Structure 1
Amino acid sequence: MDDLLAAVRAGDLRALRDLLVLEDVPTIVDELERLDAVSRAIAFRALPKDLALAVFEDLDAELQGELLDAMRQETVAELISGLDPDDRATLLDELPASVASTLLAALSPHEREMTTSLLGYPPDSAGRRMTPQAVHLPVHLSVGAALDHVRAHEADAEMIYTLPVVAAGREVVGVVSLRRLFVTDPQVPLREVMSDPIVVRATEDQEVAARSVRDHGTLAVPVVDGEQRLLGLFTVDDAMRILEHEESEDFARTGASEPLRRPYLATRVLDLVRSRILWLFVLIAAAALTVNVLEHFEDTLAEVVTLALFIPLLIGTGGNTGAQAVTTVVRAMALGDVRFRDLPRVVWRELVTGALLGTALAAVAAVPVTFLVGGDIALVLALALVIVCTLATTAGAVIPMVAKKVGVDPAVVSAPFITTLVDATGLIVYFVVAQAVLGL
């Protein structure tokens, strides 16, 4: 990295080329992502043409758009035309409409038609991310004829390892792997070696399609329309990229910030601030509930000042318990382990879990608190811990599942929101229990 930076600062393209060609594509992408925008453009210009295209394909779409601004028009045209149609559609989504139109106009009619067909599907749909460059096999062929068909059309396909089998009207009736064709007698009819197809609809959410590829352990799945007609393939490389993006987005929102949409070191400090500041304002407003609760029970605190000693312990424990529950449930929802119809079972499991956790924590805390401040306060704290932990885990189960049902990203109602909610409700529980036990 030090040698790379030195060559960039010196503007020595030959030294840059000598350094970069020794590395594989993922390593070069990683190094470019660590550079600032100007240095990245200088280093990219030093790459040989074929290597530059491979590196460009692996960069995030936002960084691709940034690089295009620094390239000459003829170089931009070469890069855009060299992309696969699905990667090209992803890039064009990130560019201003006027720039995207100009780049589309520079493509050949065939490439432009494939790209615009993908852009016609809804954003974040499987159709938007599929490759239309797929070899399909007529169902009436023999295995030998199918192999001949693959050889004749492989140059126009992005991938040939998973092959859809189609009947009349391009209706998908099966799939077969290239390996299966190679190890089967050429005279065997294709329909005897094909498998039942696992397909996704073009309008289906891209994350659902990506999980289908991952869960079935396949290299690609056919993408079809409403009448089961073949439109393209949804490949494993796109599936893994989408899952990484979706999980990064959920992880960011669980921590009360917006996803960066680009590598950390390639993100400007101002963008880091923007990704976090709105959430902090929202959380500050929510935390005002805690202040109001304390003000409401000011007289109770004045009578038994000792109660104030255990407020941080109580709300901290409740918040942590709720955060554990919501993280577990959101993850289970993302993996498809639980659905909305499972809400009663999930609530019951988390309610029991919270009660048991609260009981265990109360038992541990009661002994030292009794010796420190007396049995009455220890009883108040123990009862409050059981109730607060039960409420926290139950809320952590209900809120994300209901949020998804009404169309809100479950990650948005994340651990910080659960923590803030539990802070306020936990204080109410604590003071109400104190009033009841201590007769205040």
Structure 2
Amino acid sequence: MPVDDIRASVRDGDLPAVSRRLDGLPAHEVADLLARLDESSAGLVFRMLGKDEALAAFEDLDPVSQHGLLRGMRDGAVGELVERMEPDDRARMLGEVPASVANRVLAGLSPGEREMTASLLGYPARSAGRSMSPELVSLHSDDTVARALDRVRRDGASAETVYTLPIVDEGRCYAGVVTLRRLVLGDPGATVGELADPSAPWVLATDPAEDAAHLMRETDVLALPVLDAEHRLLGLITIDDAVDVLEQAQTEDTARQAGAAPWAGHYMAQRVWPLARSRVVWLLLLLVAATLTVNVLQFFEDTLETVTALALFVPLLIGTGGNAGAQAATASVRAVAVGEVRPSDVLAVAWREARVGIALGAMLAVAALGIGSALVGMRIAVVVAISLVAICAWAATIGATMPLVAKRLGIDPAVVSAPAVTTLVDATGLIIYFVVARAVLGI
């Protein structure tokens, strides 16, 4: 990727070199390049693109990078660019920019585009209605195949997709879908209703967009009809929109699982201070929570003074417990995200992970017995081995069930994942260790 070369050419004012390096670059690479440059350089490079190349690259940018580009463009150029965007992409961008900017951009649109965009922005953020495209080709159930194909040829150029064609009745109520493949291969005299799939999946406009994207993944469809409360067809969510929704959700979950607040925009365009600020809050909270571990050590100070060898294995046990809990939490968050488990499965998940933890602990205990007996003797080794089994079982159970409980309480499961679980298991694991030590050693 010639980012450094283009940046150097921009800095040197060598615009012909910039133009040569941009020639032939795919839209997604141009978008990545623009996101990595500062706003003034990105604006200069963007203005050197042709209209079609500029639009394709602009639509591939995230809303934060799009807003940065808009700030450096003339109002006329902004209006022309935004006018040519797909309504759902336009709504996604305007939903992320300040209201004053969104209102100014909307005012510059043509009446038809403004109406479509305003209708999408009227739905809740991250809803299926906000992510759908109202530009589609719908067919009537009593249309013949020949007449339906004529309509696709006539109206398809202005639609976002023609591969999935929703079917409506006289009242515009949803009646199923037919694929373009089935329509092309069908008998020209047959009716569309005869070829329709009335059981095809659909969602309501108020449903979460992430749920709609997961439904598309599970049912392997290229587009998903979006309906209102009265079962009327409103639009389609296409596969590219579903991918964007899932990518955004995954990005946020990854940040939260690592104990950081999600940030918006391209990583390489972020400054040091905003990145640090997105992480420091969770680190402070975890620092405070980690004082539980200190309190546990203080409580069992007499035990450590009696058998100082126990202190040697504290890092090993809390590290192993934290890792086991983090593994279970990651698996649970992923299973919740893709719909494989629900909050009602909490007991079944707890029972499964408890057994997994026991199996893991038993395998680690065998190694601990050998190492511990060679270093500090068999009695301490037995304490460590028993503690490993108990801590791994406890950590796996807690790690797997906390995301499910969070989901039940309406909290994002990723928030209570690896860092939170690790901190909790550190303190409780030490309690298990010292209780086992007192029981086995008779302290």
Q: Same fold (TM over 0.5)?
A: yes
- How big is each residue's C-alpha offset from its partner over 1:366-391, in whole Å with a ceiling of 9 and x where there is no partner? 12211221222112111111111111
Q: Does 2:190 match 1:188?
A: yes
- On the 8 A contact 2:406/2:412 being kept in 1, the answer is yes
What is residue 94 of structure 2 aligned with on the other side?
A: 92
Give the drift of 1:11. 2.7
Partner Cα separation in structure 1 for residue 226 and residue 243 of structure 2: 17
Partners of 1:354 and 1:6 in 2: CA distance: 55
Provide the secondary structure at the position in 1 that maps to 2:95.
Answer: helix
Structure-1 separation of matches of 2:30 and 2:222: 25
Instruction: Report the residue type matching 1:411 in the other structure.
Output: A
Check conservation: 1:143, 1:184, Cα contact below 8 A: yes
Q: Secondary structure at the match of 1:146?
A: helix
Once the two structures are superposed, residues 124-179 of structure 1 have per-residue CA deviations (whole angstroms, 9 ceiling, x without a partner) of 10000100111100111010010111122223312111100111211111101112
Aligned residue type for 2:335: A
Structure 1 residue 105: deviation in Å? Answer: 0.9
Q: 1:307 — aligned with what?
A: 310
User: Letter of the aligned partner of 1:66 in structure 2?
Assistant: G
Measure, in 1, the Cα distance between the counterparts of 2:103 and 2:300: 62
1:217 corresponds to: 220
Per the normalisation by structure 1, the TM-score is 0.98
**2: CA distance between counterparts of 1:372 and 1:50?**
70
Identity %: 53
Q: C-alpha separation between the residues in 2 aligned to 1:87 and 1:428?
A: 53
SS of the residue aligned with 2:414?
coil
The equivalent residue for 1:35 is 37
Please tell me whether the aligned partners of residues 370 and 378 of structure 1 are also in contact (alpha carbons under 8 angstroms): yes
1:284 paired residue number: 287
Could you state the TM-score of these two structures normalised by the residue count of structure 2? 0.97
**Hey, what does 1:167 align to over in structure 2?**
169
Aligned mates of 2:405, 2:65 — CA distance in 1? 36
Which runs of no fewer than 5 residues in structure 2 stay unpaired? none
Distance in 2 of aligned mates of 1:282 and 1:41: 40
Q: Distance in 1 between matches of 2:99 and 2:7?
A: 34
Asked if the contact 1:380–1:430 (Cα under 8 Å) also holds between the matched residues in 2, the reply is yes
Task: After superposition, give the CA deviation of every residue in 1:20-43 in whole Å (9 maximum; x if it has no partner).
Answer: 132111121122222222221221
Letter in 2 for 1:69: R
1:223–1:234: 8 Å Cα contact kept in structure 2? yes
AA partner of residue 265 (structure 2): R
Deviations 1:267-293 (A, max 9, x none): 111111111111111110111111111
1:113 partner SS = helix
The 8 Å contact of residues 11 and 42 in structure 1, kept in 2 or not, is answered as no
Contact 1:142–1:190, Cα closer than 8 Å, also in 2: yes
8 A contact 2:140–2:168 mirrored in 1: yes
The letter for the 2-side match of 1:332 is A
Q: Which residue number corresponds to residue 374 of structure 1?
A: 377
SS in 1 for 2:413: coil
- What amino acid maps onto 1:162 in structure 2? T
State the partner residue of 1:227.
230
Deviation of 1:61 after TM superposition, in Å, equals 0.5
- Asked if 1 retains the 8 angstrom alpha-carbon contact of 2:39 and 2:72, the reply is no
Distance in 1 of aligned mates of 2:5 and 2:24: 13
Contact 2:402 2:417 in 1 (8 A): no
Partner of 1:246: 249
The aligned counterpart of 1:66 is 68
Shift of 1:14: 3.5
Cα pair 1:85 1:131 within 8 Å, conserved: yes
Offset of 1:12 from its aligned partner? Answer: 3.3
Describe how 1:250-329 pairs up with structure 2 within 5 A: 250-329=253-332
The answer (yes or no) to whether the contact 2:296–2:430 under 8 Å persists in 1 is yes
| Distance of 1:267 and 1:41 partners within structure 2 | 17
SS at match of 2:290: helix
Over 6 Å off, 4+ runs: none
C-alpha separation between the residues in 2 aligned to 1:181 and 1:361? 60
CA root-mean-square deviation: 1.2
Counterpart amino acid of 2:306?
E
2:119 aligned residue: 117
Corresponding residue SS for 1:169: coil
Q: Which residue of 2 aligns with 1:411?
A: 414
Structure 1 distance, partners of 2:8, 2:322, is 48
Task: Classify the secondary structure of the residue corresponding to 1:170.
Answer: coil
SS at match of 2:365: helix
User: CA shift at 1:303, angstroms?
Assistant: 1.1
Q: Which residue number corresponds to residue 344 of structure 2?
A: 341
Q: Distance in 2 between the 1:69 and 1:222 partners?
A: 35
Aligned residues: 440
Worse-superposed segment, 305-314 or 171-180: 171-180
Whether 2:431 is the aligned partner of 1:428: answer: yes
Cα offset, 1:185, TM superposition: 2.1
Looking at structure 2, the residues matched to 416 and 363 of structure 1 have their Cα atoms a distance apart, in angstroms, of: 28
Counterpart contact for 1:37–1:266, Cα < 8 Å:
no
Cα shift at 1:10:
2.2
State how 1:47-62 maps to structure 2 within 5 Å: 47-62=49-64
8 Å contact from structure 1 (residues 14, 46) kept in 2: no
Give the match's secondary structure for 1:259: coil
Instruction: Answer whether contact 1:134 1:158 (CA < 8 A) is retained.
Output: yes
Q: How does 1:83-162 map to 2 (within 5 A)?
A: 83-162=85-164
- Report how far residue 120 of structure 1 moved: 0.9
Which amino acid in the other structure matches residue 243 of structure 1?
L
Q: CA deviation at 1:396?
A: 0.9
Q: Secondary structure at the match of 2:177?
A: strand
Question: Does residue 361 in structure 1 map to residue 372 in structure 2?
Answer: no
**Structure 1, residues 195-253: CA drift from partner, whole Å, max 9, x if none?**
12211110111111011112222110110012211000000000011111111111111
Give the C-alpha shift of residue 339 in structure 1: 1.0
Matched letter for residue 365 of structure 2:
A
Report how far residue 322 of structure 1 moved. Answer: 0.5
1:327–1:415 contact (8 Å) kept in structure 2 = yes
